[in-house]
Amino acid sequence: MDRQKIKSYLESATNIAVLLASVAVLLVCTLNYFTVDSTPLLIEGLQKGKNLSPLPTYNYGDSPRTLIVALNTDCGYCGDSIPFYKRLIEAAQTNNKATKIVAVFQNSSNKVERYLQEKQFNANTISDANLNAFNVTATPTMILVDSKGIILDFWIGKLSKEDEEQVLKIINNTETAISTPF
């Protein structure tokens, strides 16, 4: 009989523990449901239609559009994309300079100069830039802005061939505005 009593107490204790755990879970779920934080979430990062922080020593108003290419000399994808950037610069030069291209590096000017010589890459450059100030968290990143510094479009990472062709079409387009839904 002692075994029967112990078994009965253990079953009762187990049932009570399961019941308490279920009530606790239900209580937590109910509290989370009714206490939803109503404060809006801040959206970080690049956004079409928003102003981009000014570049050091560069004026967006100098051309109808500027394509900013954020690079890092230590980034393999950046190096792999250099032939595409050369094509972009060539395309920009043939369309009456409607779009200026500026390569922005977070690296020191000495390191950037060596990198440009090694890659045989002739581009307008800005060195020692704080890419975080432009909401750039990865390289390579390309940001197309108008003469007021408003983001028209952006691309992050090494582009596919299709995306490269899209960017080339935009650069070859001599209109100053791009129809993008904001």
| Structural domain spans, the chain | 1-39, 60-172
pLDDT per residue over 95-131, tens digit each?
666 789 999 999 999 999 999 999 998 888 999 988 8
Amino acid at 142: M
Look at residue 107 in the predicted model and tell me its pLDDT: 93
**C-alpha to C-alpha distance for 103 and 122, rounded to whole angstroms:** 10
120 φ/ψ sector (left φ>0, alpha ψ -120 to 50, else beta) = left
Predicted pLDDT at 72: 93
Please state the pTM of the whole predicted model: 0.70
Q: What is the pLDDT of residue 132?
A: 85
Q: Specify whether the CB–CB gap between 127 and 108 falls below 8 A.
A: yes
What share of the chain has pLDDT > 70, as a percent? 87
Residue 143 near residue 154, CB atoms below 8 Å: yes
Q: How far apart are CA 26 and CA 30, in angstroms?
A: 6
**Residues 148, 60: contact at Cβ < 8 Å?**
yes
* CA distances from residue 38 to 19, 23, 28, 30, 59 in whole angstroms, order as listed: 32, 26, 18, 16, 40
Indicate whether 91 pLDDT > 90: no
| End-to-end Cα separation, the chain, in angstroms | 78
Q: State phi, psi for 40 to the nearest 5 degrees.
A: -70, 150
**CATH class of the domain whose range is 60-172:** alpha beta
Which parts of the chain fold into alpha helices (H)?
A: 2-34, 76-94, 109-119, 161-172
Do residues 48 and 180 touch, judged by C-beta distance below 8 A? yes
Hunting for tokens 């479009």 — which residue is that? 153
The per-residue pLDDT for range 63-82, each reduced to its tens digit, is: 899 999 999 999 999 999 99
Per-residue pLDDT band for 42 (boundaries 50, 70, 90) equals very low
Chain segment 129-144, per-residue pLDDT in tens: 888 888 888 899 999 9
